[in-house]
Amino acid sequence: MKEFSGRTAVVTGGGTGMGRELVRQLVAAGCNVAMCDLSAQTMAETRSLCEAARLPQGLRITTHVADVADEPQVQRFRNEVAAQQQTDRIHLLFNNAGIGGGGSMIADSREAWERTFNICWGGVYRCTRAFLPMLQQADEGHIVNTSSVNGFWASVGPRVSHTAYCAAKFAVKGFTEALITDLRMHAPHVRCSVVMPGHIGTSIVGNSRKIHTGNESDTLSPAEIARARAAAALAGVDVAAMSDADIQAMVLARARHFLEDAPTTAAEAATIILDGVRAERWRILVGKDAHRLDELVRQTPERAYDLDFFEAFAAEAGWRLGSRAAR
């Protein structure tokens, strides 16, 4: 799809991060956008940012509170999109919503593991199913599924358990690659792309914590402090002399570093994604770190989970993720 003007796009997780920037850039290109998120407030902020930049005449931006992991909510979202955008068709579906966490099969609860998996994989699957008929109604359509470098490399370093997220992101990549043939056979006017970002500067670390715990505040509960303390100890941090306030500060600093120290901003990522869609590329790597990891994993797959593989890559890419300080 070369042109977004006059089209209709659906973006999941449009409240913050890459989803917000996708919405802003689609709107700036003259595209109608329907977004969903768990938070009405962050979507309202996204909408205000679009309006402050002056909307093209007659353009529709609609916001829908919906959990992509919940089938009835996804169906309600689809029905609201049809009603409020006054259409039976959409042209673009960005399955972007995602969270981290629940990484360990041993140290984390089953509930946390499945919450991450059901959002990162289940959300992509459910929204694709729900919106496919509307994509098929359009003269051309494009499904853009956000995986990650964790869709081809199941690690953020040797000191962090990351099983739920990686399992989900591998699923998103496999699903999207198989969809290429399925669409070519049964709906050739609809295409798809898998997006594999490296480290992008967003608030995903803090947002994921809030979604998992239901605690909207930046102040950690005693149970969260205990969990963070145990995780830090496992990652090799000397927590014995740290007060609860120190643990709280460490968790907030980790989220801040993730946002501020990334090699690629969310706005840059959105531009790369939209350029990839315009160029009709099915695989969209985002960031120099993602390109480099892709090369390294292909060159030496058997070494991909060795400590020196990670240390060499992290030093070259300037990654602080997965280091003791970042954990």
Amino acid symbol at 270: A
* Structure tokens, 317: 């890419």
Q: Which of 148, 141, 128 is nearest to 18 (CA)?
A: 148
- Residue with Cβ nearer ligand NAD (22 or 190): 22
- Residue with Cβ nearer ligand NAD (8 or 46): 46
Residue 137 Cα to chain centre, angstroms: 27
Q: Smallest gap, in angstroms, from Cβ of residue 81 to ligand NAD?
A: 14
Cα(138)–Cα(141) distance, rounded to whole angstroms? 6
Residue 222 Cα to chain centre, angstroms: 28
The dihedral region occupied by 219, where left means phi > 0, alpha psi between -120 and 50, and beta the remainder, is beta
Q: Which of 255, 249, 228, 225 is nearest to 320 (CA)?
A: 255
Given the rule CB under 6 A, which residues bind ligand NAD? Answer: 12-13, 15-19, 36-39, 42, 67-69, 96-99, 119-120, 123, 146, 148, 197, 199-200, 202-204, 207, 211, 266
Q: Smallest gap, in angstroms, from Cβ of residue 245 to ligand NAD?
A: 25
Q: Smallest gap, in angstroms, from Cβ of residue 186 to ligand NAD?
A: 26
- Residue with Cβ nearer ligand NAD (78 or 229): 78
Q: Smallest gap, in angstroms, from Cβ of residue 44 to ligand NAD?
A: 12
- Which DSSP symbol is given to 35? E
- Residue with Cβ nearer ligand NAD (98 or 141): 98
Q: Smallest gap, in angstroms, from Cβ of residue 147 to ligand NAD?
A: 7
- Residue with Cβ nearer ligand NAD (128 or 146): 146
- Residue with Cβ nearer ligand NAD (19 or 157): 19
- Residue with Cβ nearer ligand NAD (181 or 217): 217
Q: Which of 28, 96, 16, 3 is nearest to 265 (CA)?
A: 16
Q: Smallest gap, in angstroms, from Cβ of residue 239 to ligand NAD?
A: 26
Q: Smallest gap, in angstroms, from Cβ of residue 277 to ligand NAD?
A: 15
Q: How far apart are the first and last CA of the chain?
A: 40
* Structure tokens, 231: 């995780």
**CB of 232 closer than 8 Å to CB of 323:** no
- Residue with Cβ nearer ligand NAD (136 or 163): 163
- Residue with Cβ nearer ligand NAD (257 or 303): 257
Burial class (CB in 10 A: 0-12, 13-18, 19+), 73: middle
Cα(97)–Cα(13) distance, rounded to whole angstroms? 4
Q: Smallest gap, in angstroms, from Cβ of residue 190 to ligand NAD?
A: 21
The 10 Å CB-count burial string (b at 16+, else e) for 277-294 is beeeeebbbbbebbebbb
Burial class (CB in 10 A: 0-12, 13-18, 19+), 275: exposed
Q: Smallest gap, in angstroms, from Cβ of residue 244 to ligand NAD?
A: 26
